[in-house]
Structure 1
Amino acid sequence: MSTSTTGSPPVATTTAAPARGLRRYWPRPKSVAGQIALLVVAAIVATHAVAALALFALREPWRAEGRPGVAANRLAVIARMLDDTAPEGRDAILTAAKRSLPTLHLGAWDGTPPPVESERLREHPIIERLRDAFGRDLALADLGPDSSSEDPPVLHLGLRTPAGAGLRATLPDDTLGPPKRGVIVFTLLFMATTLTLLTVWATRALTAPLGQLAGAAEAFGTRRAPPPLPRRGPQEVLALAGALDRMRARVNRLIDDRTQMLAAISHDLRTPITRLRLRAEFIEDEHTRERTLRDLDQMNALVEAALAYARDERGADGGSDTEKPLIDIASLVQTVCDDFSDIGADVRMAQARHVLVRAHPEDLQRAVANLVDNAVKYAGSARLSVEKSATGVAIAVADDGPGIPEAERHAMLQPFVRGDRARNLNEETGFGLGLSIVLAIVEAHDGRLTLENRVGGGLSVRIALPGTLAGGVPEGTNGLQPAAGPGGAGNLGPG
């Protein structure tokens, strides 16, 4: 169905709004490909920056032997070199080691380790690291048993290798463990969190105009006001928004021209039909006069139906909720049932639930009357029900007729499409505008019209409307506004 003829303002298709803030000094690409490339490059740069910071924070100290594990490994290497060297060459190795590793305080030692190693050395993790790195039997002596109180704590050791080389050294007495494990974990978590937030933010900023464009396209053709088209974003999105805006204006113009033409033709036909009716009254042959008047009545009914359809098309806005009166749907449907029962039709209310909604009673009454008229025309009876739904209220009109094949249900909602596919106009088949008028009225009230074949045979037409209040009718009123005029209950002509 058509929308309001008022078009939205044109959208710039090539340029976006002037950049502000940082964008003035750091312009970003205008195309989708450029922005995706920028996102990937930014993620790579951020990853390398965080990795560089992590390497800087976890870099080796200027003197790595300050760490207990490193100092134990290097002391074991020196001890093995001394053990594998002849006695006359050990002094040169020790002198070079003292110059390259001053923090170990290396020196010759001519003492003798005790036969029983102290408990402190046997259970110390640094001593275990030293023995493992040396790989042979190594006699140790604790040269400073009370040195643990020093700040920082150190171990003063005397070593005697299997070849008889003696060596004294000082090792840091710190706890062994992975260096800065907490810093590594924090760095990895920070990197993952930062990249995730950056990617999510950039992706949302890139796809937000697409979502806005999709919402505007989805709202086009419905009764709700379409959201504004995106005015910022990649060039492709802005070009698509401009194309959609121009297409919407063209479609609205075509629909408006079609509706105006239909209304003008239908309105102008009323005058010659009236003149023909006056002339037909002077026809002497009674049989010819009756047939002519019947044809003129059908032509007049067709004109009235076309005018009603054009009126519902052009009045598609339906006004805001504050302009619509509050009505009781059950009372409105019961009024339609009573009107058809008064003319002898088999129409009854099967279930009624009082729900108050804001709507135009004349339009809704015309919609329900059209559905009931179709049910009576094609099935001979109609059963109506009003019940509360998850979003509001549902009006159902059921019959025991032949139903509508599923492949033809969408076509039946189009104007001038009749269920019997007959091209001749007569009172029994109508003009194919009844369901089209119902659809226009339902969509004007933000509702939904569905057609379903019943299991036991027949058709069930359901009108779902957004409800306002559920429960009884306010005291002192029947909840139903008076419906008068051409769209009231008295106008139950064929649909």
Structure 2
Amino acid sequence: MTVGSSPGVRRITLWPRGLVGRVTFVLLAAVALVFLGSSAFYEEAETYTVDDAQLDAIGERLAVDARVLAATPLSQRPILAAMLSTGDLTLDWRPPVAGRPMKPEPAALRDLHDRLVANREALRGAVLNLSPTQIGTSDVRGIVRLPDGSRLGFVAPDILQPHHMTRGLASAAILAGAVLLAAAMLVHTLSMPLRALADLADGVGSGRWVPVEEKGPREVRHLARAINAMQDRIRRLIADRTEALAAVSHDLRTPLARLRLRAGFLNDPEAQSAIESDVAEMEAMVGGVLAYLSGENDPETVRSVDLVSILRTLVDDAADQGRDVMYDGVEHCLVKVRPLAMKRVFGNLIDNAVNYGGAARVGLSVAPDGLRIRVDDDGPGLPEAELTRVLAPFYRVEGSRSRSTGGLGLGLAIVNREVTREGGRFTLANRPEGGLRAEILLPRSRVQNGGKAQGAGKTQGVGRAGRSASDR
């Protein structure tokens, strides 16, 4: 059963998600079926086997005792009746009473009457009469009329209740509980290697390389061995790529620096300006590619910083360049992040908002689900189909690849990667009033001071000259 089918609606299912839960659910269903089947079996079996045997024994004893007492002198019958009494059938003899007919039997005891009289000539006819002892009990009281008119009274305790039904159900319940507990413990033990593999897979993406212990079932051992081999291959590939990046960084930047130096000796100002522009473009391209490719190995550590201070610094730097940038949010907010990576993220978003939307409005707020940082612009926005595509590396909506119409298509890819490494989520959306909104949601666990932000304020970028010493 599921609840909710539209996007964004949480789905609730009865089928567990984990291996332990699913196997336990199946075992629980099987045990429940066995329990229900056992209950029905016990009920029918006790009704038609144990109770039939007990009723046959009681009926046979009544017939035999009635014949014995009929052949015994009247003076000895009370003593003999007491001697014939047992725990499951109590007898007492009564002399004949003139003018005292038997009471009619209740309809609920007629089936019991027929089962006691079956195949016993001594009890046929109007000889046997049954009556309950009191309402709500399973005891039955009865009278057997002897040939001389005297009566043999008896009480059969607990004859209306299946004797072993409760004990059988209790045994079945204990057995079902023991089987379920043992199965849950067994499945939990078997799933431990799988959980270790899942933890390892999560750690690989964050740079943690931990060999998996090759233990557990045969299939799990084979999987662990394959994952360890895969880790070694990935580690070697990353090491090779890091060395290649270091070589590319050195080999490309050196000739670019020489080319810029030689351009300075040209006598043609127009050619000198064109060469320096091309060199700057090449350096920006190389720097962007290297920044993206080396980001996964960024050794920067997480530490506590005031995120508002980073945002305001970027806003003021943009204002120094004459850009229309404004901050509107809380005054202070301490978070645990990688400061340089976050500064690169917000810098890319502000640059995109200014370059493609003409202005950037930066906001920060603490919500129940985490810390929200938004960057809005007044541009044309993006087609809905492009909102997720632009997060891919080297993808540009404008496909000419000209530096005059845009960058390399790495800015948003870097933003998405760095936010994901911080445990957050990055989304793009078109605003109803026009323009594009880039929003970052950082987990609430990153916010310090219990997730409380101090104050709120609205600041227009004023440039370095107009800032106080506390803002620098």
Please report the TM-score for the alignment, with normalisation by the length of structure 1. 0.63
Greater RCO structure (CA 8 Å; 6+ sep): 1
> Structure 1 residue 260 and structure 2 residue 243: aligned?
yes
Name the residue aligned to 1:191. Answer: 175
Name the residue aligned to 1:330. Answer: 308
* 8 Å CA contact retained: 1:224, 1:446: no
Aligned-partner Cα distance in 1 for 2:207–2:297: 15
Counterpart pick for 1:303 among 267, 286, 309: 286
Aligned-partner Cα distance in 2 for 1:411–1:256: 29
Aligned-partner Cα distance in 2 for 1:198–1:264: 59
**In structure 1, what residue type is equivalent to 2:168?**
I
Relative distance call for 1:244 and 1:445 in structure 2 (3 A) is same
Q: Encode CA deviations 1:45-70: one digit per residue, 9 max, x unaligned.
A: xx89xx8xx99xx999xx99996x45
Q: Encode CA deviations 1:270-309: one digit per residue, 9 max, x unaligned.
A: 1111111122222233222211111111112222323333
> Structure 1 residue 468 and structure 2 residue 448: aligned?
yes
Gaps of 5+ in 2: 1-18, 73-82, 87-93, 118-122, 130-140, 456-472
Local SS of the residue matching 2:230: helix
* 8 Å CA contact retained: 1:72, 1:129: no
Relative distance call for 1:112 and 1:314 in structure 2 (3 A) is closer
User: Residue 73 of structure 1: CA displacement?
Assistant: 1.8
Relative distance call for 1:305 and 1:243 in structure 2 (3 A) is same
Q: Encode CA deviations 1:340-393: one digit per residue, 9 max, x unaligned.
A: 112111111133363211223333222211110111111111111101133431
Name the residue aligned to 2:334. Answer: 356
Equivalent residues in 2 for 1:79-158 (5 A)? 113-116=96-99, 133=117, 134-138=123-127
Aligned-partner Cα distance in 2 for 1:127–1:114: 25
**In structure 2, what residue type is equivalent to 1:301?**
A
Local SS of the residue matching 2:429: strand
**In structure 1, what residue type is equivalent to 2:448?**
T
> Structure 1 residue 340 and structure 2 residue 318: aligned?
yes
Relative distance call for 1:409 and 1:225 in structure 2 (3 A) is farther
Name the residue aligned to 1:217. Answer: 201
**In structure 2, what residue type is equivalent to 1:359?**
V
Q: Encode CA deviations 1:405-435: one digit per residue, 9 max, x unaligned.
A: 44444443343333322233x2541222322
User: Residue 395 of structure 1: CA displacement?
Assistant: 1.2
Name the residue aligned to 1:74. Answer: 60
User: Residue 167 of structure 1: CA displacement?
Assistant: 10
Name the residue aligned to 1:412. Answer: 390
User: Residue 175 of structure 1: CA displacement?
Assistant: 4.0
User: Residue 116 of structure 1: CA displacement?
Assistant: 4.7
Equivalent residues in 2 for 1:166-205 (5 A)? 174-178=157-161, 179-205=163-189
* 8 Å CA contact retained: 1:346, 1:382: yes
Name the residue aligned to 1:11. Answer: none
Q: Percent identity?
A: 31
* 8 Å CA contact retained: 2:95, 2:151: no
* 8 Å CA contact retained: 1:66, 1:172: no
> Structure 1 residue 390 and structure 2 residue 368: aligned?
yes
Relative distance call for 1:451 and 1:253 in structure 2 (3 A) is farther
Local SS of the residue matching 1:239: helix
Q: Encode CA deviations 1:435-481: one digit per residue, 9 max, x unaligned.
A: 2332343234333322223233322222222322233569xxxxxxx
Name the residue aligned to 2:265. Answer: 282
Q: Encode CA deviations 1:1-42: one digit per residue, 9 max, x unaligned.
A: xxxxxxxxxxxxxxxxxxxxxxxxxxxxxxx9xxx9xx99xx
Aligned-partner Cα distance in 1 for 2:113–2:250: 108
Relative distance call for 1:104 and 1:226 in structure 2 (3 A) is farther
Name the residue aligned to 1:239. Answer: 222
User: Residue 170 of structure 1: CA displacement?
Assistant: 8.8
User: Residue 72 of structure 1: CA displacement?
Assistant: 3.4
Relative distance call for 1:432 and 1:121 in structure 2 (3 A) is closer
Relative distance call for 1:120 and 1:215 in structure 2 (3 A) is farther
Name the residue aligned to 1:375. Answer: 353
* 8 Å CA contact retained: 1:263, 1:310: no
Equivalent residues in 2 for 1:433-472 (5 A)? 433-465=410-442, 466-469=446-449, 470-471=451-452
Local SS of the residue matching 2:176: helix
Gaps of 5+ in 1: 1-31, 83-89, 92-101, 106-110, 141-154, 475-495
**In structure 2, what residue type is equivalent to 1:332?**
I
When the two chains are superposed, the root-mean-square deviation of aligned CA atoms in Å is 4.8
Relative distance call for 1:256 and 1:413 in structure 2 (3 A) is farther
Local SS of the residue matching 1:400: coil
Relative distance call for 1:160 and 1:240 in structure 2 (3 A) is same
Please report the TM-score for the alignment, with normalisation by the length of structure 2. 0.66
Name the residue aligned to 1:430. Answer: 407
Local SS of the residue matching 2:305: strand
Aligned-partner Cα distance in 1 for 2:426–2:310: 18
* 8 Å CA contact retained: 2:353, 2:376: yes
Q: Encode CA deviations 1:83-119: one digit per residue, 9 max, x unaligned.
A: xxxxxxx99xxxxxxxxxx9679xxxxx974335599
* 8 Å CA contact retained: 2:336, 2:448: yes
Aligned-partner Cα distance in 1 for 2:173–2:258: 88
Give the number of aligned pairs.
385
* 8 Å CA contact retained: 2:253, 2:283: yes
Local SS of the residue matching 2:317: helix
